[in-house]
Amino acid sequence: MENKIISNKAQCKKCKDIIESKDTNDLKRCACGSIAVDGGLEYIKRMGNPDDVIELSEYEKEKSNHLLSSPLNSNVIKNDFPIVKIPSPLSISNSFSKNLLPAIKINNYFSDLINTNLSSPLQKFSETILESIKPSYFDFNHRLVETMKPIISMQNELISNIVKQMNPMQEIAKKLSEALKPITSQVIDSLLKMTSYFDELSKSLEKARENPDSLLNWIEYSEKLSEYIWTIPYDISSDELKSLTTIVNSEKEFDKYMLKYFDKAKLEKLFNELLFKIPYRHKTILKQTKNSFYQKDYALANTGILSVIDELCSQFLSDKGCLKRKDIFLPIVEIIDNKSDDNFEVIPILVLNDNINVIYETVDFNKRIKIKTNKKVRRNSSQHGKYFSNRKIDTIMLLNTVYYLLIVMDTYKQYVGKIIYVKNSAELSFANTTYSNEIKRFYIRKKYVRKNRK
């Protein structure tokens, strides 16, 4: 009679743990891991040493089947990793599953046989390998320890020597610290006095900044004006200039303010003063420039004013045919700087010099002319017919430049016609200025400077 499985369970002789497999793939191990059961109610499968298994499975007798007539205890599988496990889905009939049981038992038997036969030689081989390398391993360790002994000894000796040498150094450091105490005290006292001095200096600088007419503020004005391509705006007060340079941050903003500052009344006053101061030969062109300006023909006005600026600059040169204008006023600046204690005196000339440098900026006629500043007027591009500015702000800036050229010409008339441009290195021997170099090559002959000093 064939036995139908009611319960698939076993007890471990070692740990006395009872384990049961309730489903086909429900593999259970005992607490000590010596045995395992699997197969559920479909088939009986045991893993581990058969001698450790107490079989507790229960069966129900059915029709006989000669293939399963042998006792189940004699077929306990010993290997941990079965080669074939065939689960039985519920959808497959019970009769089909039962017919596969003999094949599964045979397969598990051969798998156990193969694993048992192979594991023993492999274990013996690994033991032989370990036994053969043991002497070499222990010999290597012994040699390594012997080799490291003198190195460790040297390291200990080196550390000891360093410690011994550090002790005198610590004593020296203590003595040096004691010796430096009085000096340190004096330095601290001096620093306290310097702090007091700098506090006073800071207060003085703060007062200077608050005063619109201070040298500190005028230096700042000059830097801003040079950046914005202007001389000192005509008839402007120090208070207004301080306020203006504080609130604006770009040439474009400054120009926008200048368009409002030079209203009709201010422009009329400027034109009248220019007509009064300008040499007679320029009065006609200035009058026509004025007419062009009020008719908004700024390109014509700019061309006329540039010709006046060109001629007024040439009046300072010994060689009237010289076309150089860059840094033309630096020799006068240096003479004033050397002779006068009034630092304010050079500021308007420096600002005028920077303004002339931009107006006479070099332009490459072989390329498309593109002027990046807000004011576009340039002498070279305009007088050569390459590029014209037709903007009101450019005309006002040029009129302002003419005004300060006339002021400098009248104030420093002793240098009119005395400035020389150095054409070669031999002429540098006549120079009386540190500004004479490869870039700034204007100077005033020494004899003219001496004549001025008498």
- Check residue 25 and give its pLDDT: 82
- Which among 201, 176, 231, 443 has a CA at the least distance from the CA of 348? 231
- Check residue 92 and give its pLDDT: 39
- Using one digit for the tens of pLDDT, what is the confidence trace for 206-217? 776 788 888 888
Number of CB atoms found within 10 A of residue 22's CB: 13
- Check residue 95 and give its pLDDT: 44
Mean pLDDT of 367-374: 90
Statement: residue 86 has pLDDT above 90: no
Number of CB atoms found within 10 A of residue 316's CB: 23
- Which among 215, 257, 250 has a CA at the least distance from the CA of 229? 250
- Check residue 311 and give its pLDDT: 94
More confident: 114 or 86 = 114
Q: How far apart are CA 313 and CA 178, in angstroms?
A: 70
β-bridge mates for residue 443, sequence order: 420
What letter represents residue 241's amino acid? L
Q: Are strands 18-21 and 28-29 parallel, antiparallel or unpaired?
A: unpaired
Q: Write phi, then psi, for 387 (nearest 5 degrees).
A: -155, 130
Q: Predicted confidence band at 205 (pLDDT cuts at 50, 70, 90)?
A: low
Mean pLDDT of 279-285: 95
Q: Where are the beta strands (DSSP E) in 334-436?
A: 419-421
Q: Taking a C-beta distance cutoff of 8 angstroms, is the pair 396, 382 a contact?
A: no
**Helical spans, DSSP H, in 315-346:** 330-339
More confident: 135 or 399 = 399
Mean per-residue pLDDT of the chain: 77
- Which among 54, 50, 100, 52 has a CA at the least distance from the CA of 77? 50
- Using one digit for the tens of pLDDT, what is the confidence trace for 255-272? 999 999 999 999 999 999
Q: Percent of the chain scored above 70 by pLDDT?
A: 67
- Residue spans per domain, the chain: 3-118, 218-453
β-bridge mates for residue 444, sequence order: 419
pTM over 0.75: no
- Helices 347-359, 330-339: inter-axial angle, 10-degree rounding: 170
Q: How far apart are CA 58 and CA 238, in angstroms?
A: 117
Q: Which pair of structure tokens corresponds to residue 87? A: 């689960």
Q: Predicted confidence band at 325 (pLDDT cuts at 50, 70, 90)?
A: confident
More confident: 199 or 4 = 4
Statement: residue 102 has pLDDT above 60: no
Number of CB atoms found within 10 A of residue 341's CB: 6
- Using one digit for the tens of pLDDT, what is the confidence trace for 231-255? 999 999 999 999 998 999 999 999 9
- How far, in Å, are 236, 247, 254, 340 from residue 240 at the CA level? 7, 11, 13, 27
Mean pLDDT of 163-171: 70
- Which among 435, 221, 426, 404 has a CA at the least distance from the CA of 332? 435
More confident: 420 or 394 = 394
